[in-house]
Structure 1
Amino acid sequence: MSEPSRRTVLIAAGAASTGLWAAAAPGAAAAEPPRPAGPGAADNPVVRENRAEGSGRWAVGAGESRGVDLRAPQIQAYASAASVTPDESLTLNVSGRTAATCAIEIHRFGHYGGARSRLLHTAADVPVGRGWKLTVPHTWVSGLHLAVLTSADGYRAFTPFVVREPARRSDVLAVVPLSYAGRRPYPGLGLPEDFGADTSACQWLEEAGYDVTYATEEDVRARRVDPRRYPAVLHPSAVALPSPLALSEPGRTDPKVRHQAAALLDGLIGRHR
């Protein structure tokens, strides 16, 4: 992650092996506060969002789907932008080689009582070989989202994107390394290499009840989001909380590392209140 500002520095949470990085004012110490954050620690848009019913139907295998051929995907798509704000439009450029139509579902990652995602939108019989346009509802909360494409013959691939809310000054800004600058899908299933770490990080943040908004590295570089406005800035791909913390195992986290991460974030947030 590029340096957010000359007036911010990157500090580590606990031992370097945790891999959790946050931005704080120069000279700020990573002192441990009296308590770590916990689920329901505060009422904020993220806590309210995670009260909604979750869904696991995005995964490969759900609904008798199967993953695409990793070398020659039967269906794939890239987004017109890596991030959008509510009320903006996003176009998925869908291509395929085995079926004329596909279904598209949009999921948001979080905790959702352990379900890990929430189904937000569905579209059936989407033509393959052209763009599919989505206008993001103003009610959608900032987060890491996933377009799930399932071809008519059952092959499944993914296109991730971020919904950002730059006008909302949350306690935590999570910066995701996601880009479609090359105007092509990510290889294989369509997911970036560190997507499992990104989703596990956001699930942990939202389970803990933090008020977090999301942006991409491109958003920071283009100044669509100003990291100086936030008490803590995280780069989710650098979060190791700890191994094994894979997309399929978000709950297997060392309690000590959880406490270290929460202690740092609580300290940073507390100093800005």
Structure 2
Amino acid sequence: MGVERSEHIRRWESGALAHAVSDPFGQGPLPWLRGSEHYFDDTGHVVPWYVDHVPAQRDTPRTTARTTAHVTGPRTADDVGQQIKGFASSGGVAPGEAIDFHITVDPPQQFTVDVYRIGHYGGDGAAKIATSPRLSGIVQPPPLTADRTVSCHHWWQSWRYQVPAHASIGAHVAVLTTADGYRSHIPFTVRDDHPADLLLLLPDITWQAYNLYPEDGRTGASLYHAWDEEGRLLGEEDAAITVSFDRPYAGAGLPLHVGHAYDFIRWAERYGYDLAYADARDLHAGRIDPTRYRGLVFPGHDEYWSAPMRRAVELARDGGTSLVFLSANSLYWQVELGPSPSGVPDRLLTCRKRRGPGRPALWREVARPEQQLLGIQYAGRVPEPHPLVVRNADHWLWEATGASDGEEIEGLVAGEADRYYPRTALPEHQDRILLAHSPYRDGEQNLRHQETSLYRAPSGALVFASGTFAWSPALDRPGHVDPRVQRATANLLDRICKRD
């Protein structure tokens, strides 16, 4: 039944079926991720800087140990079979606190949870820090749906992980594995308020906006897509207005674009940068004080922002805290966070994209364009990778990179791009500069351009915006590393951290 259903859903119709792969982000040697697969964006196009496609084995018998003996390695769970899927009770947790996991297993059987921390670790990319006992899996009730909002808040608790008081803060992944060899993932963050040079903010709000769980051709919905009665994918006009954090991520359980954050983390920890960690929801809820850090780093696609998030970041900048945006299309949609049906805060994400009465959802439509914080703003998609063309190569950001004016860094303008809009107000600044000006063709073959921006606020804070999705992958993704980007990023962070 599950096989027939998965064949009915055409893989390219959705970004989320492409999540159901063993290594969707081309992250290279991670202890639990093996194999190489394609990744598709939400338009169905292949994202070119990822690795080659190997079809997933969804039709392998999984009912007995004898049949699984012929399968090499774990197989990836999906939203059709629901072999094993789960979510965490919170996105972030502090050392000494507990985090609950709610997990469904079909057919019911034993499973284990291995907890990994993302980091450099001699090139491994992660280290196992905890393992659960063998747990008894059950088939949880079907998700509840109301007006396209899908929630699993009624699932029973499956395992509680007590985070040790001495635990290392950072980005973590709980890896779920059934006795018969199916695997899924749950990302979470261990945060702390200890002083550090840099605060890394993981974009969990944007991750949830793209989550189409369950991608079963019937029920799932994100802020981008939903399904009709015939299993066809619908667009934004018919998508959800509110999505819930009380549900797994689609497919393999890793969010869209999570690899961008992992690329930065591995690189930054390799070179010894002093990092603290938090989620976007921590920033929203005021659980962290961003003014305590020399710089805030937004390592990946960070498109969805609440008003408290923006206010906190602007106050930090105005107080002298630098801002580093290593992707594009940041701070685009304005969102609200609300409690779950049981009253747990910040478990529902609302973005009113549909046209009609009410407040507009784009920041630029409420007279607060993102350029007033970033220095540039979203320009559009980049269907095929183009070179990033260096500008102002004598600036200190490009020092020791070997780059010269007009030099092309191949493939670095990809995914989506930002640029400077002359008719849109700039933030107050002491000085500003554009460090790249890169022509590319959009989906209609119109000539457009990407730009990379840096300005110094009156407080002395630096605000950098790469203006492209491909900056973080160039730091540490196998096959996509560029030493010029690595050095330019180090120049920026060293200056923010006051390194000699």
Following TM superposition, by how much is the alpha carbon of 1:99 offset from its aligned partner in structure 2, in angstroms? 3.5
Letter in 2 for 1:186: Y
Instruction: Provide Cα deviations, 1:128-147, integer angstroms capped at 9, x if missing partner.
Output: 23420011001211100000
Q: Which has the larger radius of gyration?
A: 2
TM-aligned CA deviation for residue 252 of structure 1: 3.7
Letter in 2 for 1:249: R
Per-residue CA deviation, residues 67-97 of structure 1 (Å, 9 max, x unaligned), is 1135443101100000000000000001121
Aligned partners of 1:232 and 1:268 also within 8 Å? yes
Aligned AA for 1:57? P
Partner of 1:156: 183
Deviation at 1:251, TM superposition (A): 6.9
Contact 1:99 1:152 in 2 (8 A): no
* Match of residue 182 from structure 1: 245
Mapped partners of 2:277, 2:127: distance in 1: 16
Does the alignment pair 1:213 with 2:239? no
Q: CA RMSD in A?
A: 2.6
How far off its partner does 1:124 sit? 3.4
Give ranges in structure 1 of 5+ residues lacking alignment.
1-54
Of structures 1 and 2, the one scoring higher in RCO (CA 8 A, sep 6+) is 1
Q: How do 1:14-29 residues align onto structure 2 when only pairs under 5 Å count? A: none
Q: Distance in 2 between matches of 1:210 and 1:244?
A: 15
Moved more, 118-127 or 146-155: 118-127
| Structure 1 counterpart of 2:135 | 126
- In 2, distance between residues paired with 1:248 and 1:258? 8
Summarize the Cα distance change of 1:72–1:178 in structure 2 as closer, same or farther, 3 Å threshold. farther
SS of 1:64's equivalent? coil
Partner of 1:29: none
Specify the alignment match of 1:37 in structure 2: none
Q: CA deviation at 1:245?
A: 2.5
Give the 3 Å change call, closer, same or farther, for CA 67–108 of structure 1 in structure 2: same
1:59 aligns with 2:58: no
Deviation larger for 246-255 or 68-77? 246-255
Distance 1:116 1:247 in 2: 13
Match of residue 455 from structure 2:
none
1:136 aligns with: 163
Deviations 1:6-49 (A, max 9, x none): xxxxxxxxxxxxxxxxxxxxxxxxxxxxxxxxxxxxxxxxxxxx
1:235 to 294, 298, 315: 298
The 3-state SS of whatever aligns with 1:270 is coil
Separation in 1 of the partners of 2:125 and 2:273? 16
Give the alignment of 1:108-119 within 5 angstroms.
108-119=117-128
Task: Determine the structure 2 residue equivalent to 1:89.
Answer: 98
8 Å CA contact 2:91–2:189 kept in 1: the answer is yes
Residue 107 of structure 2 is aligned to residue 98 of structure 1? yes
Q: 1:247 to 1:123 in 2, by over 3 A?
A: farther
Using the TM superposition, give the Cα deviation of residue 153 of structure 1 relative to its aligned residue in structure 2, in angstroms. Answer: 0.9
- Normalising by structure 2, we get a TM-score of 0.41
Calculate the TM-score normalised by the size of structure 1: 0.73
One-letter code aligned to 1:225: I
What residue in structure 2 maps to residue 6 of structure 1?
none
Q: Distance in 1 between matches of 2:280 and 2:492?
A: 22
Paired positions, count: 217
Pairing 1:257–2:485 present: yes
What SS does structure 2 have at the residue aligned with 1:186?
coil
Identity %: 35
Distance apart, 1:158 and its partner CA: 0.2
Find the aligned partners of 1:214 and 1:243 in 2 and give their Cα distance.
20
1:147 corresponds in structure 2 to: 174
* C-alpha deviation, 1:249, in angstroms: 3.3
Write the distance in 2 (CA, Å) between the matches of 1:121 and 1:154: 19
SS state at 1:218 partner: helix
Q: Is the 8 A contact 1:60 1:66 kept in 2?
A: no
| Contact map agreement 2:199 2:296 (CA 8 A) in 1 | yes
Letter in 1 for 2:486: R
Tell me the secondary structure at the aligned position of residue 87 of structure 1.
coil
* Alpha-carbon separation, structure 2, partners of 1:99 and 1:246: 42
What does the per-residue CA deviation read over 1:146-173, in whole Å, with 9 as the maximum and x for residues that have no partner?
000001110000000000011x111110
Distance 2:246 2:88 in 1: 8
Question: Aligned pair 1:268/2:295, yes or no?
Answer: no
Contact 1:60 1:156 in 2 (8 A): no
The CA distance in 2 between the partners of 1:177 and 1:187, in whole Å, is 17
Asked if 1 retains the 8 angstrom alpha-carbon contact of 2:282 and 2:288, the reply is yes
Cα deviation, residue 248, structure 1: 9.3
